[in-house]
Amino acid sequence: GAGVSQSPSNKVTEKGKDVELRCDPISGHTALYWYRQSLGQGLEFLIYFQGNSAPDKSGLPSDRFSAERTGGSVSTLTIQRTQQEDSAVYLCASSYQGSPATNEKLFFGSGTQLSVL
């Protein structure tokens, strides 16, 4: 597609349930990022993929969070046993090479609003 696509756009779940969030990056982009944005807060880095590998997963808040990327394309972020503090907007971004230090820009999806009741 033309842009980064995320699904679902909204997800309401009960505490303790597992959820899967999907990100479809721009075709040809090797770098993929997951961020979390809580209400009124900045962006919290979760994980970075280069191709199918994740050289930096240091931002994942706990072992309930995991992510994978297959075929160098689609990524899924899984949250197990969701808690109310997991409620946030989960943003996905992609870039061609993963080098914003050299001026490369990130393209963002519209995010998934997760609400844990």
Partner 1 sequence: GDSVTQMEGPVTLSEEAFLTINCTYTATGYPSLFWYVQYPGEGLQLLLKATKADDKGSNKGFEATYRKETTSFHLEKGSVQVSDSAVYFCALGSNYQLIWGAGTKLIIKP
46 binds partner 1 (CB under 8 A): no
Contact 45, 61 (CB under 8 A): no
| Residue for token pair 């909204």 | 10
61 binds partner 1 (CB under 8 A): no
77 part of the interface to partner 1, by CB under 8 A: no
| Nearest Cα residue to 15 out of 70, 112, 80, 68 | 80
By CB under 8 A, tell whether 42 contacts partner 1: yes
In whole angstroms, how close is the CB of 58 to partner 1 at the nearest point? 10
Residues 6 or more apart from 16 whose CB is under 8 A from it?
A: 81, 82
Binding site for partner 1 (CB under 8 A): 3-4, 31, 41-43, 45, 48, 50, 55-56, 91, 93, 98-106, 108-111
